[in-house]
């Protein structure tokens, strides 16, 4: 990663330039048996499409707030980097009524809470392979329907200021620069020792620790993450086999 990278979006751009084919996020859902592996290039393509959706279709502007009512999931990671690319604030588990846009998972409680948002409402089915809802929740746009037609490249209309708010998690606000600096400073604490390090994380995304282990730390160090949802359903034998198969060298759970 380049020392001049100041925002999470910068980190992704540097990763793409350095080695677009290497794995970045490998996702497991131990409730469904799903496994998805995204290279840097594939992940960056999803981010670009989502950022274009935010900027062009939803008309968000730098400083707007996007409430993310989502679990630790590869699509949540995409939304976090898309928000960083546009310059809007990603508010993890944020209050929908205070947000300009809300993004909800498929569970009924999240969808009901999301209805308090007066702006655009996006719903994610979180189905394998990014599948659509069988029936779109009323009052929401289906992400899986809206995002495929977006452009594969993204350029913000206004430069993203690294010192402006970029993330809110567990009530704490971070600028883009603070996300990058803290991810780098704390990488070794979670076992991310440099390029190629592969961490398995079963932590939720509603704390800084979960976000750092499950996204920002690997991105800041040239590593990658094996992101596991419902890890408590995996037995020890399954977990041990996964750690060996995925060449994991650090764990956070």
- DSSP character at residue 79: H
Residue 2 lies in a domain: no
Say how far apart CA 166 and CA 183 lie, in whole Å. 14
pLDDT of residue 1: 62
Q: Determine contact, residues 229/72, Cβ cutoff 8 Å.
A: yes
Give the pLDDT mean for 155-159.
95
Say how far apart CA 167 and CA 93 lie, in whole Å. 11
- How many other CB atoms are found less than 10 A from the CB of residue 2? 12
Asked if residue 4 has pLDDT above 90, the reply is: no
Share of the chain above pLDDT 90, in %: 97
Task: Please name the residues in contact with 7: beta carbons below 8 A apart, sequence gap of 6 or more.
Answer: 84, 160, 162, 166, 176, 177, 179, 180
Which pair of tokens denotes residue 16? 């793409």
Q: Which domain CATH number covers 100?
A: 3.40.50.12780
pLDDT of residue 2: 74
Q: Determine contact, residues 248/226, Cβ cutoff 8 Å.
A: yes
Q: How many domains does the chain have?
A: 1
Helix residue ranges, H only, 60-193: 74-86, 108-114, 143-146, 176-186
Task: Please name the residues in contact with 185: beta carbons below 8 A apart, sequence gap of 6 or more.
Answer: none
What's the pLDDT tens digit per position in 30-86?
999 999 999 999 999 999 999 999 999 999 999 999 999 999 999 999 999 999 999
Residue 3 lies in a domain: no
Three-state secondary-structure class, residue 152: coil
DSSP letters of 1-55? --TT--SHHHHHHHHHHH-TTSEEEEEEETTTTEEEEEEHHHHHHHHHHHHHIII
Say how far apart CA 9 and CA 57 lie, in whole Å. 20
Instruction: Find the angle CA(22)-CA(27)-CA(30) to the nearest 5 degrees.
Output: 150
Residue 1 lies in a domain: no
Give the pLDDT mean for 83-98.
98
Residue 213's domain comprises: 8-252
Q: Look-up: residue for tokens 């991105």? A: 219
């Amino acid at each position: 990663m380049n020392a001049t990278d100041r925002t999470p979006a910068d980190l992704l751009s540097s990763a793409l330039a350095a080695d677009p084919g290497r794995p970045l996020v490998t996702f497991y859902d131990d409730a469904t048996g799903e496994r998805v592996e995204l290279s840097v290039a594939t992940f960056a393509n999803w981010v670009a499409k989502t950022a274009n959706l935010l900027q062009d279709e939803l008309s968000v502007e730098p400083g707007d707030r996007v409430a993310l009512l989502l679990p630790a999931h590869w699509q949540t990671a995409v939304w976090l980097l898309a928000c960083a690319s546009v310059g809007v604030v990603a508010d993890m588990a944020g209050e929908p009524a205070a947000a300009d846009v809300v993004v909800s998972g498929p569970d009924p409680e999240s969808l009901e809470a999301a209805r308090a948002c007066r702006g655009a409402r996006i719903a994610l089915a979180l189905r394998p392979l990014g599948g659509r809802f069988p029936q779109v929740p009323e009052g929401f746009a289906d992400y899986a329907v809206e995002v495929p037609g977006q452009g594969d490249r993204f350029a913000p209309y206004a430069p993203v200021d690294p010192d402006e708010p970029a993330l809110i998690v567990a009530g704490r606000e971070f600028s883009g620069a603070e996300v990058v600096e803290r991810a780098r400073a704390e990488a070794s604490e979670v076992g991310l020792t440099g390029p190629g390090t592969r961490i398995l994380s079963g932590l939720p995304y509603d704390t800084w620790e979960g976000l750092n282990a499950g996204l920002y730390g690997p991105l800041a160090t040239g590593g990658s993450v094996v992101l596991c949802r419902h890890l408590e359903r995996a037995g020890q034998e399954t977990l041990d086999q996964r750690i060996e198969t995925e060449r994991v060298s650090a764990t956070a759970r």
